[in-house]
Structures are given as structure tokens and as C-alpha cells.
A = this chain, B = another copy of it.
Amino acid sequence: MSGTNPPDGGGSGSIRNNPDVRQRVLAPPKAGLLKDFKSVVEETFFHDAPLRDFKGQTPAKKTLLGIQAVFPIVGWAREYNLRKLRGDVIAGLTIASLCIPQDIGYAKLANLDPKYGLYSSFVPPLVYAGMGSSRDIAIGPVAVVSLLLGTLCQAVIDPKDDPDNYLRLAFTATFFAGVFQFGLGLLRLGFLIDFLSHAAVVGFMGGAAITIALQQLKGFLGIKTFTKKTDIISVMQSVFENARHGGKRNKKLFWVPAIAPLISVIISTFFVFITRADKQGVQIVKHIDQGINPLSYKKLFFSGKYFMEGIRIGGIAGMVALTEAVAIARTFAAMKDYQIDGNKEMIALGTMNVAGSLTSCYIATGSFSRSAVNYMAGVHTAVSNIVMAIVVALTLEFITPLFKYTPNAILAAIIISAVLGLIDIDAAVLIWKIDKLDFLACMGAFFGVVFVSVEIGLLISVVISFAKILLQVTRPRTAILGKLPNSNVYRNTLQYPDAARIPGILIIRVDSAIYFSNSNYVRERASRWLREEQEMAKEDGMPAIKFVILEMSPVTDVDTSGIHSIEELFKSLEKQDIQLILANPGPVVIEKLYASKFVEEIGEKNIFLTVSDAVAHCAPGLAEQQA
């Protein structure tokens, strides 16, 4: 290409800098208001083009696709085979054995009878299996949401004084959690959960895990001093821990930690039963009602003071549950490389919780620990959730009486062991390395939960997440550019120390859209760069700055305030006999610069396609000298 360079070209590779032939900065073709608006709506709500596959299909095919969209299991059914079934059954049995003891423990975190935990592992997974698009998630009650629901409901009704209304409140909250989840998905507002940053979630989960573990440990240790009989529990615990590590070391042994809890439960229950340790102070589960979920739709509050509380609690707990489920679904989808539609996922989760609230379940969502086991056990589709639900139902129908002698302490150990997996120290270290502000959010959420309460921790996470966004939009980065040696490439002088400044020219890059929230800052920052550079030039005996080139490649958009700011900068520079020059304004920006008549003001000849074109124009001598 070098050969085709016109002789007047200053910088090769740049556009010819003769103003008559140089490529103009173009405004994009006019789209029209309605089309503009349509494209904004599409990108905001339908950026994944959910109806893409429906285009140009026959009505019959469209109907089938529609059914598949609502019930992904229909789509999977056509490719289902025995091999997949085997994987799903093994995975389902494994997560069932893990979920039964967890459910009994988690229900207590929510101040509910153990049976409600088991109920919540029956109906919701069945509904999800039909509607959900994740193949790896394991549905049921989870520790953090149970704790959150328990804490929030307890603040309204004391579960010991008024267990009936407490239960009704929990169901009402579950109902509205489902309604919120469903609504967010239907209105395609799923992106709202993106406002809980990853760092805040890591901190929140870690904090919640510590809180739960300490709470359980208290009970656990309390019993230990009570009777020596519980030594069996420490033994179980250490067996269990060893098993857990075995599973970590060898992937094929995934089932060892997965079924260890159930085995611990069985063995310890058996020991308590034959030694009658409960008579000597070992606290036991005592009684679990037999039979599957009774209907509970009559128990929901739809008026009165608990109605509003139910909406509030459901909203908070529903959002946290959603964040957890979507994070899990996305993680495994990325690992196996299939697509998750966040909005559809929310519709599935919402439906399942609404259905759950009518059948004596409390809020269910995706469980980190069980989903990981599910994945390792070789799950193929959500059929594993169906297998698990059937096992839980059979347990409820036939085996629950046997849990009578299960010691609470072993449940505590199982909970502790499950929640400790939520403490992701590696993630926290990585966050520290990558972004200090993120780490602050993480620690804020963590200490908020540990030292104050779950709600405060959650609030801190949200506030810090938002503060970060606001900081981002108020204080965008700016940089001074210099020319890399032997090239026409202009780069940040801080990043590339050998990038040379051009005498008499200041090149500033603004790294953000210029909006009302940062327009004043950008203008003032540019003035300050200029003032500092002028002083430096004076000291060094360099020529005074005569041109300020504003590299606008990263400026993706401006609004009215932004245009005002650029205009003010232009006028203020004019008074100091300095020419403002714009380089590479993007499509949206150039359109608005035309609309606001600013292009007329600054002159089309002062807008260039690249920085090197602009420099060639400002310092033609320099270009010749290099050529």
C-alpha cells in the first residue's frame, strides 16, 4: 500500500491530509425517529433477538417453536436417549441424597419445620424442569435465601409466638417473590439483576456463609459440652470432611462428598436411636409429618398488614434468589457452551415459586453446592431435577418418620460444610488483584452481613455497586496522547512512555460518552491539562500550545450538556488563541454536532478522521520533516 500513497500525504496510513481530497467525517445515514427509537428498545429489551428463530417459518413450526420456547424440555425430548437418561438418573439420585439433609437444615434457618424444606425440593424442581433453560442447575431451598427469608419474616412476626401467621407470611413472601421474578422476566427487565456486581455478590455470599456457620457452630459446640455421646458426631464430621477432600482431589469420587451427608445422617440417626442419646440432651429433629405437599393457597395473605410485608420480603428475597440462580445458570452454560436466556429463566423461576407458594413450599432457587455436584455427576438435562423430586417425594411419603432421631448437630455440620463452599477466597483475592474498588464493595458486603445483618449487607452491596456506576459516569478517564516512534499511531503517554508529544499541540482523549453527569468535569479537566501543559512548555522553552486536538474515538455519545461543554471549551480556547480540533467523532456524536450547529461554529475543516490527519494539518512542517 505504501506505493499508492499520494505525494502530498503527510502520514502514510493516514488519510491524505489535503483538505480537498481527505475523507470527511460522515454522519451516518438518517434513520428516522421511529427507527431510532425501535433500535433503542430492541437493544435494551431484546438484545438477544429472542424471536430470531421464528422468522420465515410456517405457522405449525412457529407453534412448535413457541411451545419449545416456553418449555425447553420439549426441545430436549427429541434428542433424548438412554445414555442421557443414565447420566440424569445418577445425577438426580446424587443431588437427592445431598438435598434431603440440607433441606431439613435449611428449613430451620427460615424458622420453619423441616418438612417445608423437603416440600420445596419437590414441586419447584418439577416446574423448573419443564420450563427452565439451564441443564445443570439443581433447584431447591438454599442456605442464604432461607436465612434471609427467616430474618426478614422474624422481624415482622415472632415464629414462636405466632407460628401460623409466620408460616402464612413465608408463603405470601414466596408467592410475591415468584410474581416479581416472573414479572421481571416477562417485562424483559432481567438486566436489572446485573446491577448487583459480582464482587458484591461474592462478599455477600461469604458473609452470609460465615453468619450461618457461626450460628450453627454455636448449637454444635453447645451440645458437645452437654454429653459425651455426641462424640460420634465429631467422628462423623471428620469422616465427612475427609470424604469431602477426597472428592476434591479425584473427580471420579465426586459422589463421596455428595452422599457423605446422607450417610452421616443415617449412621448418626441410627446411633442416637439405639443409644437413646436424646434422653441425655442430644437435640433431635423429633418429628416430621409424613406425606407430600398439602395445598396452601388459602394461607396466602391478600390483604391486611401482612400483605404489604409479604410483598416487601418477597421482593428482597426474590431478587437475591434470582441473582443466585441466574449466576449459576450462566456459569454452567458458559462451561458447556450453551445459551441461557436470562429473561426466560426468570419466568421459569417465577412460575416455580408461585406454584411452590400454593403447595406449602418456601422460596426455592438454584443451589451452588448441589448444582456443582449435579454437573460433576454428569447431568445432561433438567431431568435430574425430576429424578431428585421423585426421590424427595418418596422420602416424604415413606421415610420421614425415620428422621425422628436425627441429631440436630449433624444437620448443623452439614449446613456448615455446605455454606463454607460459598466462601470464595480465590475470587476475593482475584478481585483484590484486579480492581480495588470492587474489593471494597466485596468487603463492604461481607462485613455488613457479618457484623450488622443480612439486609444491611445486601443494602451495602447495592449502594456500593451503584456508587461505582456513578463514579464511572461522573469521572471518566482522560489521557494525553503522544506519537509512537516510527508510526502514525497515537497512544496514551502514561502507558507508552516513548510516545512523543508534538510541540505546540496538545492531544487529549476523553474515554467516555460526554453526558450531563460528566460534561463539566470533562471541560474542566481539559482546561487543567492545557494549563499544566502551557506552564510546562513555558518552563522548557517550548513553543506555546496553539492547537488542542480532542480525540473522540471513545466518546460514544453526547447529550445536550455534553455539547454545551464542548462549545464552552471551544469558546474559551478561542479567547486564548488556541484552535480546538476534533478527531474521529463517532456516528452518534457527529450527527448531534451537526444537529446543534456546532459543526458550523467550529468549521467542518477542523474535524478530522484520525489524530494523525489532524496533526498533519496543525503541523505540516512536522509531517514533511518525517516524510
**A: which residues have CB within 8 A of B?**
1-5, 9, 11-15, 23, 26-29, 33, 36-37, 40, 43-44, 47-49, 191, 194-199, 330, 334, 337, 339, 342, 427, 430-431, 433-438, 465, 468-477, 479, 484, 486-489, 491-492, 494-497, 511-513, 515-521, 524-525, 527-528, 553-554, 556-561, 563-564, 568, 571-572, 575, 584, 586-588, 590, 592, 595-596, 609-610, 612, 626-627
Contacts and interface: CB of A to CB of B under 8 A. Distances in A.
B596 A337 contact: no
A260 to B, nearest CB: 31
Contacts of A560: 198-199, 427, 430-431, 434-435, 438
Nearest to A196: B516
Nearest to A573: B337
A436 B32 CA distance: 11
Nearest to A474: B191
Nearest to A553: B553
A524 B47 contact: yes
A15 B487 contact: yes
A546 B497 CA distance: 34
B15 A568 contact: no
A564 B436 contact: no
Contacts of A49: 528
Given A342-B520, A492-B587, A497-B29, A337 B553 contact: no
A398 to B, nearest CB: 44
Contact of A521 (B191, B438, B588): B191
B473 A197 contact: no
Contacts of A612: 13
Contacts of A561: 197-199
Given A194-B520, A199-B516, A571 B334 contact: yes
Contacts of A9: 2
Interface centre among A2, A330, A558 (most CB of B within 10 A): A2
B556 A435 contact: no
B596 A430 contact: yes
Nearest to A335: B571
A13 B13 contact: yes
A554 B551 CA distance: 11
B472 A513 contact: yes
B194 A518 contact: yes
Contacts of A198: 516, 559-561, 564
10 contacts: A26-B496, A195-B474, A199-B516, A434-B559, A434-B563, A468-B515, A469-B517, A477-B588, A479-B586, A495-B586
Contact of A15 (B194, B484, B575): B484
Nearest to A488: B13
Contacts of A11: 1, 13
Nearest to A523: B334
B334 A568 contact: yes
A23 B486 CA distance: 10
Contact of A511 (B43, B556, B558, B575): B556
Contacts of A513: 472, 512
A192 to B, nearest CB: 9
A471 B44 CA distance: 8
A57 to B, nearest CB: 15
Contact of A559 (B29, B44, B199, B337): B199
Given A199-B559, A438-B560, 10 more contacts: A14-B487, A29-B494, A36-B436, A197-B517, A337-B571, A431-B560, A434-B559, A476-B556, A511-B554, A512-B513
Contacts of A472: 473, 513, 515, 557
Contact of A477 (B438, B521, B557, B568): B557
Given A520-B330, A554-B554, A434 B23 contact: no
A40 B26 CA distance: 36
A561 B596 CA distance: 37
A627 B438 contact: no
Contact of A587 (B194, B494, B627): B494
Contacts of A587: 479, 492, 494-495
A454 to B, nearest CB: 21
Nearest to A427: B560
Interface centre among A37, A334, A339, A435 (most CB of B within 10 A): A435
B44 A469 contact: no
Given A2-B5, A511-B554, A516 B476 contact: no
A383 to B, nearest CB: 24
B475 A556 contact: no
Q: Nearest 4 A-B pairs (CB), nearest first? A: A13-B13, A554-B554, A197-B516, A495-B587
Contacts of A494: 28-29, 587
A337 B475 CA distance: 23
A513 B43 CA distance: 17
B1 A477 contact: no
A12 B2 contact: yes
B47 A475 contact: yes
Contacts of A13: 11-14, 487-489, 612
A616 B518 CA distance: 37
A103 B497 CA distance: 60
Nearest to A596: B434
Contacts of A5: 2, 12
